[in-house]
Amino acid sequence: MTSLAELHDVARQRLAPEHYDYFAGGAGDEVALADNERSFRRLALLPRILPGSATRDLAVRLPGAEASMPVFVSPTAFHRLAHPDGELATARAVAAAGTVLIASMAATVAIGDMAAAAREVDPGATLWFQLYLQTDREVTDLLVRRAADAGCSALVVTVDSPVFGRHERDRRHGFTDLPDGLFAENMRDLPGGPRNIEMSPALSWADLDRLRESTSLPVLLKGVLHPEDAHLAVEHGMDGILVSNHGGRQLDAAPAPVDVLPRIVEVVGGRVPVLLDGGVRRGTDVAIALALGATAVGIGRPVLWGLAAAGESGVRQVLELLREEFDDALALCGGRRLADLTRDLVTVRGPEGGKW
Ligand SMILES: Cc1cc2nc3c(=O)[nH]c(=O)nc-3n(C[C@H](O)[C@H](O)[C@H](O)COP(=O)(O)O)c2cc1C
Ligand SMILES: CCCCCCC(=O)C(=O)O
């Protein structure tokens, strides 16, 4: 495979149509979904020349993690729909790549088993746990304890889902539940049971404050798009912000994360790391996001395509392709280290070559 797009094609052929559409789809007319990739294509990199170094350093420090490159795996649900090994394969592949896996609360493998699989590959493997805060605080506390017991080094609270997005592809297929035998394993034995992950508009900053006080783990907020919310996140003691529109699966009128990134970076002012996901498909996308101030970027669907195409080896290919492409992009921009990717390198495509 020479690109993530090729792995996507293979996955499309392998997956049952209703499962492919669950992974690929977005909300409503899928405007946000399409814009996530298109927005990267609207931007260009203005390269510098003669870097004076034969090698490059891609490593990055993140909350509770040292990653080998500024690309991590964003949380996606139900990996056993893509491959029988599910999240076990993903965890092994991400550990081999030396980067961070954000395990979904809606995983089809329990967090403890994912962590064990990752640590067989690399005893120092880093997992973060993604959490939808539950209105039953006991359930949230139990989930946090399970994540901590599994050795997760940060919590990522998803805040863009007060209600579940309107996924019209799923409605057309009548895809409303997991097939028999598959469960959201992190919810097993919890009140409400494995099929019951709650999304609630009743949650507020006070619930986040309570979580903040209840754990010593770093807490990051996922799904921030408004600069004022980024400001509030820092004020409420968050350890990082993940700029995301949930891969275009929640508010279809939401902007592409890369379009709002510069303003959020400005408001945060370096106090905590700003991460981004949505539409990252090439090493040049990684370089653009970093030049606009992101500390690292996440990928969602490409990992599912790698998993469906070739299990653990497919996910490894996805991560290694992005590593190679990003390393090339950094070299071609005249950079030696991540800090060489500065905002002046990003222009808007077109004859005017406008600066951001
Ligand atoms: C099939 C699928 C399932 C997802 N499940 C979750 C989830 O359980 N929790 C979460 O916070 N985000 C979830 N997301 C959103 C991703 O974490 C991420 O924001 C998005 O996929 C990034 O966009 P990309 O797919 O273009 O890389 C999911 C996305 C997809 C495509
Ligand atoms: C009720 C199950 C919720 C699973 C959440 C998965 C998700 O976030 C998605 O975008 O799909």
pLDDT above 80: residue 354? no
For the stretch 103-154, pLDDT in tens is 999 999 999 999 999 999 999 999 999 999 999 999 999 999 999 999 999 9
Q: Is 334 helix (H, G, I), strand (E, B) or coil?
A: coil
pLDDT above 80: residue 195? no
Q: Is 224 helix (H, G, I), strand (E, B) or coil?
A: strand
d(CA 8, CA 59): 27
For the stretch 197-240, pLDDT in tens is 999 999 999 999 999 999 999 999 999 999 999 999 999 999 99
Q: What are phi and psi of 299, to 5 degrees?
A: -125, 140
For the record, the structure tokens of 163 come out as: 């209600």
User: Domain holding 46: CATH number?
Assistant: 3.20.20.70
Contact 73, 102 (CB under 8 A): yes
User: Is 355 a member of any domain?
Assistant: no
Contact 290, 262 (CB under 8 A): no
Closest atom of ligand 2 relative to the 196 alpha carbon: 1
* Residues with a CB atom less than 6 Å from ligand 2: 77, 106, 197, 246, 249
List the residue whose alpha carbon is closest to atom 28 of ligand 1.
76
User: Is 241 a member of any domain?
Assistant: yes
**283-291 helix and 301-332 helix, angle to the nearest 10 degrees:** 70
User: Is 266 a member of any domain?
Assistant: yes
d(CA 295, CA 61): 9
What residues make up the domain containing 44? 4-348
User: Is 344 a member of any domain?
Assistant: yes
Residues whose CB falls within 8 Å of the CB of residue 345, separated by 6 or more in sequence, listed in order: 45, 46, 47, 48, 291, 333
Number of domains in the chain: 1
For the stretch 59-83, pLDDT in tens is 999 999 999 999 999 999 999 999 9
Annotated binding site for FMN: 75-77, 104, 130, 158, 222, 244, 277-281, 300-301
User: Is 283 a member of any domain?
Assistant: yes
CA distances 157 to 3, 18, 133, 144, Å, are 31, 28, 7, 11
| Mean local confidence (pLDDT), 263-269 | 98
List the residue whose alpha carbon is closest to atom 4 of ligand 2.
106
Closest atom of ligand 1 relative to the 107 alpha carbon: 8
Note the pTM of the prediction, 2 decimals.
0.98
User: Is 354 a member of any domain?
Assistant: no
User: For a pLDDT cut of 70, what percent of the chain falls above it?
Assistant: 98
Is residue 246 annotated as a catalytic residue, yes or no? Answer: yes
Amino acid 196: pLDDT: 81
User: Is 356 a member of any domain?
Assistant: no
User: Is 250 a member of any domain?
Assistant: yes
